[in-house]
Amino acid sequence: MEDKLFSVKGKLCIVTGGLGQIGKNFVQELYSRGARVAVFTKHLTGERIEKTFPSAEYSRENLRFYSVDINRKDTIEAALDQMLEVWPEAPDVLVNNAGIDTQPSAPPEVSGPFEQFPESVFREVVDVNLVGTFLMCQAVGARMAVSGKGGSIINIGSIYGMLSPVQDIYAYKEEQTGVPFIKPVAYSAAKSGIYNLTRYLATYWGKKGIRVNTLTPAGVWRDTQDETFQANFTARMPMGRMSQENEYNGALIFLASQASSFMTGSNLVIDGGWTAW
Ligand SMILES: NC(=O)c1ccc[n+]([C@@H]2O[C@H](COP(=O)([O-])OP(=O)(O)OC[C@H]3O[C@@H](n4cnc5c(N)ncnc54)[C@H](O)[C@@H]3O)[C@@H](O)[C@H]2O)c1
């Protein structure tokens, strides 16, 4: 029996940053459930596409790729116009997943004390994570609103946008290298803005049937991470592990489908208990 409650079959979905670690899982899940998916991303190459989504497994009928910098309105509008040529309707779902963060491997210039944190880097990180999400909501939400059919916008937040990072987790860096690593302010400040952008748009478009919610992930395990970082992060996590990269898919399908039809302006936290203490 087809599961109508959680169905995304035939829905037209845009996923920004859909070749990244979490984004590619969102794309796979939506595609495998019969959605039509458009990946909007920077750093798009034929090789990267084929490696992540081989054309033998993923029909280009239902999965398309557009070169988009979410900070540039012209690239967003051009991609939406190109999409119209193959899918002549407004999108049903927008997943604002593209983002940038400072990894523990970052150089000291961008991971030093707050007092010296470069303004240019603060602006860049806010630009991608917050302004880029704003621009995508504006362009796609406008099309959803005109269409009259509603839609679901899912903004990807972060535990570091809900709470401040726990700096102790990164203290090992100074022990290893003699240079302190301070998890920077920029990502936290930018991600925190996502929560009220979400609430604002939920109320603004509420009567038009456009639902807007945040999905909050926690730290995802990556084989390139420093083992001490993984151990420190895990020690702080009530569930005693980092997440796998596909553990947000269930929440995504819930938010994209009718299953969440009365949910808007809200925040779905999938964090292994990080924010529970
Ligand atoms: N990985 C984690 O531990 C974690 C934890 C909490 C929240 N998140 C959030 O989840 C989302 C995905 O994270 P991820 O770890 O998969 O990241 P990732 O770096 O693997 O992927 C992000 C993708 O966004 C794209 N991108 C960056 N800037 C862009 C721009 N200006 N325009 C278009 N595309 C752009 C990149 O090309 C990349 O493919 C992000 O919003 C991130 O902040 C991640």
Q: pLDDT tens digits for 19-59?
A: 999 999 999 999 999 999 999 999 999 999 999 999 999 99
**Model pLDDT, residue 1:** 65
Rounded to the nearest angstrom, the distance between the alpha carbon of 123 and the centre of ligand 1 is: 17
- Tell me the helix, strand and coil percentages in the chain, rounded to 5: 45, 15, 40
Domains and CATH numbers, the chain: 12-270 (3.40.50.720)
Residue 17 near ligand 1, beta carbon < 6 Å: yes
Residue 144 scores a pLDDT above 90: yes
Residue 161 scores a pLDDT above 80: yes
Residue 214 near ligand 1, beta carbon < 6 Å: no
Rounded to the nearest angstrom, the distance between the alpha carbon of 207 and the centre of ligand 1 is: 31
226: tokens are 């420093």
**Model pLDDT, residue 2:** 73
**Model pLDDT, residue 91:** 98
Residue 41 near ligand 1, beta carbon < 6 Å: yes
**Model pLDDT, residue 233:** 98
Instruction: Report CA dihedral (49, 52, 58, 59) to the nearest 10 degrees.
Output: 0
- Between 103-107, 154-158, 180-184, the lowest mean confidence (pLDDT) is in 103-107
Residue 27 near ligand 1, beta carbon < 6 Å: no
Residue 161 near ligand 1, beta carbon < 6 Å: no
Rounded to the nearest angstrom, the distance between the alpha carbon of 41 and the centre of ligand 1 is: 10
Q: What average pLDDT score do residues 251-257 get?
A: 99
Q: Which atom of ligand 1 is nearest to the CA of 159?
A: 6
Q: What average pLDDT score do residues 200-223 get?
A: 98
Residue 18 near ligand 1, beta carbon < 6 Å: no
DSSP 92-140: SEEEE-------TTS-GGGSS-GGG--HHHHHHHHIIIIIHHHHHHHHH
Q: Which atom of ligand 1 is nearest to the CA of 220?
A: 3
CA distance 218 to 205: 28
CA distance 4 to 236: 38
Rounded to the nearest angstrom, the distance between the alpha carbon of 127 and the centre of ligand 1 is: 13
User: Are 194 and 157 in contact, with CB atoms under 8 Å apart?
Assistant: yes
Q: pLDDT tens digits for 164-192?
A: 999 999 999 999 999 999 999 999 999 99
Residue 131 near ligand 1, beta carbon < 6 Å: no
The residue whose C-alpha atom lies closest to atom 4 belonging to ligand 1 is: 219
User: Are 35 and 9 in contact, with CB atoms under 8 Å apart?
Assistant: yes
Query: Which one has a higher pLDDT value, 2 or 217?
Result: 217
Q: Who's near 47: CB < 8 A, 6+ residues apart?
A: none
What value does the mean pLDDT of the chain take? 97
Residue 16 near ligand 1, beta carbon < 6 Å: yes
CA-nearest of 130, 157, 153, 155 to 142 is: 153
CA distance 48 to 182: 32
**Model pLDDT, residue 3:** 87
172: tokens are 């090992």
Q: Which atom of ligand 1 is nearest to the CA of 129?
A: 41
Rounded to the nearest angstrom, the distance between the alpha carbon of 189 and the centre of ligand 1 is: 16
Rounded to the nearest angstrom, the distance between the alpha carbon of 100 and the centre of ligand 1 is: 5
